[in-house]
Structure 1
Amino acid sequence: MSTTTKTVLFLGATGGCGLSALRRSLAAGHTCIALCRTPSKLTDKLASSTPPTGATTNLVLEQGNAHDVDALARCLVQPRASSPHALVDTIVFSIGGAFDMSSFSLDDPAVCEKGITALLAALQRCRDAQSATGRPRLVVISSTGISDAGRDIPLLMVPLYHVMLKTPHKDKKALEKAVMGSAEEWTIVRPSFFTDGPESPKGVRVGVEDPVAGTVESKAVGYTISREDVGKWIFENVVEERPGDARWVKRAVSITS
C-alpha cells in the first residue's frame, strides 16, 4: 500500500500494458478511473487476472470513448478530492488499435493521434471552463524504432519495424509530436516488441532520450518485452513517482528485456 495515494486516469486499461499498471495501482490503494467503451470487459479481465483483482472500492469505471472530448473531460476531475476542481494526478495513456496482418495496418490507423488530440483538448476545456487546477503526470506508450536520435532496435528488427509496422509507427510519431508540443509534464515510454506472459525475473533495461533536444542519454537495445513488464515499469516509475522526482519528465524512455 502506498503511503501517498493518488488519482490515476487509465485510457486503454483493457490492453495488456494498461491492465498491468491498473492492477498494481489498485493494489497500492490509488483511486483509479478507467474510461472504457465496454466496462464489463475490464471487470471480467480484472476478475480473471492472476491473482484475481475482482471488484474494488477504489476503481471508478466510466463508460465512453477515449476519442470523445466530453467523456474525457468527465474523467479528468478527481471524484473524491477535497477541491471540486482538482485534476487527476496521473494519466496512463495506452490506447491502441487492432493490427490487421493482411494489410499491415490498424483497424483505426490514427487511433493514438485522435486519442491524444482529444485528451489535450479535454484538459484545456477543464482548465478553461471549470477552472480546474493541477498538472497531471502524463505517460503515453509509444514504440521503439521511431527515434530521430539514432537506432534503438537490433539490426535484425529493422525490416519488421520499417515495413510491417510502418502505419502503426506513423500514428505513434503523431502521438509523440502532440505530447512534446503540449505544456503537460509528460513521459513517453517506448517498449520493444510486445510479448505476452509474466513479468521477467531479470527486470528490464532502460534507455533514456531527450526527444526535444534530440540527444540520447543512455541506450538499451533489445528484441522484446512483455506487456506485464511495461505496466510494471509505468506503475513503479510514474504512478509511484515521488514529489520532486523529475527523472522521467520530458523524456522518452525505451524499455526492453
Structure 2
Amino acid sequence: MTSTSGQFIAFFGATGGCTNACLVHTLNAGLHATALARTPSKLTNMLLTQGISQATIDAQLTIIKGDIADITAIKSVLFSSKDKDSSAAIALQIISGIGGTPQMQWSLRKPVTIDNPEVCTTATKNIMQALQEIYAEHPSAVQHKPSITAISTTGLSDVCEDVPFGFRLLYSIVLADPHKDKGEMERLIMKNMAEPNESTRLFRGATIVRPSLLTGDQDVLKGKGWQKLRAGQDDKPAVGYTVNKADVGQWIFEQIVKSGGESHFGQKVTLTS
C-alpha cells in the first residue's frame, strides 16, 4: 500500500466478522487504524483472542467510543485533529461493514427482519455527512479524500443473476429487509461517485464487495484463505452458496487495504467459496 507516515485506515462495523478479520490483518501488517465501537472493550477482546497484542493495539489502533448515529464520533474516526494540517489527517481508506442483527417475526412474507432495518443506509448517510463537514472545516482535506469499501451482499444485481437457484427464495423473501437496506447503501455511494463535478464527490474511489451467504466468524485462524475464493463482477459474477467471513475480510485486506484498491474502484465484486 502506498502511504506516508501517520496515515490510517478507518473501520466501521469493526466488531462484525468480515470487518474484524480485515482489521486483524491490517494491524498484523503494521498499519495504523481507527475504529468506531459502541463497546471498545468488546473490540479489544476480539482482537486479543486472535493474537493481536495489547501493545500493538495501543500503538496502532485508535478506538472511538460511539455508534453510527453519532456524527461527532464518526468524524473522530475519519479525521485526526493532531495532524490536521497534513495529508495524514484524514483516513486513507474507509472499510464499512455495518450491519444489523437478524430477528425473527411473525410474518409469512418477511419472517426475518433486522433490529435496525435501515442501519446500513443510516451509516452511509452519516459517514457522507461527516466527510462533508470535515471538508468544510478543513479545506486542505479535500485534496486527500479517502476511498471507501462497503460490504454488501449478493442478490442485489440488476445486471446478472448472482445467487444460485436454490437460494433465490431465501434471498427474495427471508432476507428482503436487510437486502433492501444494503441496496440503498450501494445506491448512495454509487450515486455520489457518479457526480459529474468531482468536487461534489466525497470519496477518492469506491468498491462494493458482495459476498455470498456469510458463514463462520471473524477468527482469522479458522479461515480457509482468501486465495481460495472466487471473485467476479456485476456483469460476470462468481455464483456460489456460502463464503467464510474471515476469508472475505482477508480478501478485502489483500486486494483493497494492502494494495490501495485502485484496481477495484467502481466495481461491485462478488465473492464466494
| 2:216 maps to 1:206 | no
Moved more, 176-185 or 77-86: 77-86
Give the total of aligned pairs: 246
Cα-to-partner distance string for 1:152-191 (whole Å, 9 max, x where unaligned): 0100000100010000000001100001011221100000
State how 1:13-92 maps to structure 2 within 5 Å. 13-49=14-50, 51-56=51-56, 57-78=59-80, 81=83, 83-84=85-86, 86-92=89-95
Cα-to-partner distance string for 1:168-218 (whole Å, 9 max, x where unaligned): 000001100001011221100000001105222461000112xxxxxx1x3
State how 1:63-142 maps to structure 2 within 5 Å. 63-78=65-80, 81=83, 83-84=85-86, 86-102=89-105, 103-131=111-139, 132-133=141-142, 134-142=144-152
Cα-to-partner distance string for 1:198-257 (whole Å, 9 max, x where unaligned): 222461000112xxxxxx1x3210000010011001101111124xx6320011000001
Cα distance in 1, alignment partners of residues 11 and 65 from structure 2: 12
Gapped runs of 5+ residues in structure 1? 210-215
What residue identity is the alignment partner of 1:29? G
**Structure 2 counterpart SS, 1:60:** strand
Tell me which protein shows more helix as a share of its residues. 2
TM-score, with length taken from structure 2: 0.85
| 2:210 maps to 1:190 | yes
| 2:176 maps to 1:166 | yes
Identity %: 36
**Structure 2 counterpart SS, 1:20:** helix
**Structure 1 counterpart SS, 2:62:** strand
Cα distance in 2, alignment partners of residues 23 and 53 from structure 1: 11
What residue identity is the alignment partner of 2:230? R
Deviation at 1:80, TM superposition (A): 6.4
1:67–1:115 Cα contact (<8 Å) kept:
yes
TM-score, with length taken from structure 1: 0.90
Deviation at 1:83, TM superposition (A): 3.2
Cα distance in 2, alignment partners of residues 80 and 232 from structure 1: 30
Cα-to-partner distance string for 1:26-47 (whole Å, 9 max, x where unaligned): 0111111011111001011111
**Could you say if the C-alpha distance between residues 170 and 199 of structure 1 is closer, same or farther in structure 2, counting changes exceeding 3 Å?**
same
Cα distance in 2, alignment partners of residues 163 and 82 from structure 1: 47
Gapped runs of 5+ residues in structure 2? 106-110, 193-200
**Structure 1 counterpart SS, 2:15:** coil
| Pairwise CA RMSD | 1.9
What residue identity is the alignment partner of 1:117? K
Moved more, 119-128 or 81-90: 81-90
Moved over 6 A (4+): none
**Could you say if the C-alpha distance between residues 189 and 3 of structure 1 is closer, same or farther in structure 2, counting changes exceeding 3 Å?**
closer
Counterpart in the other structure of 2:270 = 254
Cα distance in 2, alignment partners of residues 79 and 125 from structure 1: 14
